[in-house]
Homo-oligomer: A and B are copies of this chain.
Amino acid sequence: MSELRRQAQDCKAASRKLAWLATAEKDRILTQLAAQLRARADELLEANARDCEAGAAAGLSDALLDRLRLNKQRIEAMAQGCEQVARLTDPVGREIAWTRPNGLLIRKVRVPLGVLCIVYEARPNVTMESACLAIKSGNGALLRGSRSALNSNQVLLKIIQECLVEAGLPAEAIAGVADLSHESITTLARMNGLIDLVIPRGGADLIKRVVETATVPVLETGVGVCHLFVEASADLDLAVPVILNSKCSRPAVCNSLETLLLDETVASETLQRLEPELRGKVRVQACERTLGLVPWATPATAENWDTESMDMILNIKIVDGLEQALEHIARHSTGHTEAILTKDLESARRFQREVDACAVNVNASTRFTDGGEFGFGAEIGISTQKMHARGPVGLDELTTYKFWVEGQGQVRV
């Protein structure tokens, strides 16, 4: 048997011990994790420095090196993250129950999924975050990080496993995958019966590779080609701050704006108001009608409308009205977040009903699609799927349910 399969089997067996751990015990482990992170910050920083040096020598991009790097502040944020998960409501064991006319008691009970496999890149904080969410939801976890963060992840896993053992649990319940070969991702994604859910956390390439080869269910946390439509009745005083917040507050995340759709009746005035804010700061890729009003913009290519730029790039298109905006969105949306600015109730209602996305916003920035902003606390990603979980994925979505049927010898007639 391969080492990878043995690790998965050990994790599965160990996960049973986590499954029904009392909430107070899980929270004690999470609090202990926070304390250990603070106490052993120097050890962690030293290991991380070795990863960063090796990464720089290997020619990692500045963006990747930034994701890899830890400092006192980031470690404190990780520790606070553990404490935050400890404060979240435990979904395991929550139930609804009813009694049937024949006296059968049926209880629908939340239970952990079993074993989660998280596949991720550079960022060491994902190790701690994934471990905390797994522990609180009663799941085992196989963490398949990247080679570039190996030393940092080893220290983090040592801390996690020591805390588990101290609480009387098997260390294998949260395990770092030892095999970091390219193939190990595919092998993991096909371990039906041992792994219950694979969660790729990373770029579009990683997600695509996992989705295409997996036989285990995958939680697809997705690409966001998000639109904002300024409808004819929109309050233009709101338009500029909402557009700028949607596009510029953090362009490299999935809920940032890619394409601005303008109703033709308000296009000219909106563009006039936007010009001083965008020019020289944001690359504007415009449709032909927009180019007539914004001569300094670049003509948009067909591809632009389907691209998540992750950058200070904004596509702008003028449309005849709501109908055309809905058509454009239906064709180019990735089902993440779509927004409308309007004062008209019927337009708002139609937009919310017809747009097929996890979040449909009226008079609000696209940036709000987030577990914290929704009030769910920590999340493991934003799902653009329709099945199982849609939108921010928190503790609840890392569980399933089963039916406990209790009788006194009933038979079916």
A361, CB-defined interface residue at 8 Å:
yes
| Contact A114 to B367, CB < 8 A, known contacts A235-B409, A358-B403, A405-B360 | no
Residue ID in chain B nearest A392 by CB atoms = B403
In the complex, are the beta carbons of A113 and B386 less than 8 A apart? yes
Question: B375, A408: Cβ atoms under 8 Å?
Answer: no
For window 322-364 of chain A, which residues contact chain B by CB distance below 8 Å?
A: 348, 352-354, 356-364
The stretch that binds B, out of A34-42, A73-81, A237-245, is A237-245
**Chain B minimum-CB-distance residue to A375:** B100
Contact of A367 among B361, B374, B386, B412 (CB under 8 A): B412
Tell whether, in the assembled complex, residue B410 and residue A365 are in contact, meaning their CB atoms are under 8 Å apart. Answer: yes
B-contact 0/1 string along A180-196, CB 8 Å cutoff: 00000000000000001
Contact B100 A373 (CB under 8 A): yes
Q: Tell me if B368 and A405 are in contact (CB < 8 A).
A: yes
Give complex CA distance A396, B14 in Å.
33
* Cα of A98 to Cα of B374 in the assembled complex, Å: 9
Contact A362-B401, Cβ < 8 Å, known A373-B100, A411-B367:
no
Q: In the bound complex, do residue A406 and residue B362 qualify as a contact, i.e. CB atoms below 8 Å apart?
A: yes
CA distance A353 to B17 in the complex (A): 11
* Contact residues of A: prevailing secondary structure: mixed
Chain B CB within 8 A of A266 CB: no
| A296 at interface, CB cutoff 8 A | no
Q: Is B386 touching A387 in the complex (CB atoms < 8 A)?
A: no
B409 near A106 (CB under 8 angstroms)? no
Contacting residues, chain B, for A367 (C-beta < 8 A): 411-412
- Asked if residues B411 and A114 are in contact (CB atoms below 8 Å), the reply is no
Residue of B nearest to A339 (CB): B405
Contacts of A235 in B (CB 8 A): 409
Q: Which residues in window 356-413 of A have CB below 8 A to B?
A: 356-365, 367-370, 373-375, 385-388, 390-391, 400-412
**A363-B407, A363-B408 known; 18 other A-B pairs, CB under 8 Å?**
A104-B373, A114-B386, A217-B385, A245-B412, A249-B411, A357-B402, A359-B403, A360-B402, A361-B406, A362-B407, A363-B406, A363-B409, A365-B411, A367-B411, A368-B407, A390-B400, A391-B401, A391-B403
- Give me 17 A-to-B residue pairs in the complex whose CB atoms sit less than 8 angstroms apart, sorted by A's number: A100-B374, A100-B375, A113-B386, A196-B386, A241-B411, A242-B409, A245-B411, A249-B411, A249-B412, A359-B402, A360-B405, A361-B404, A362-B405, A368-B412, A388-B388, A391-B402, A391-B403
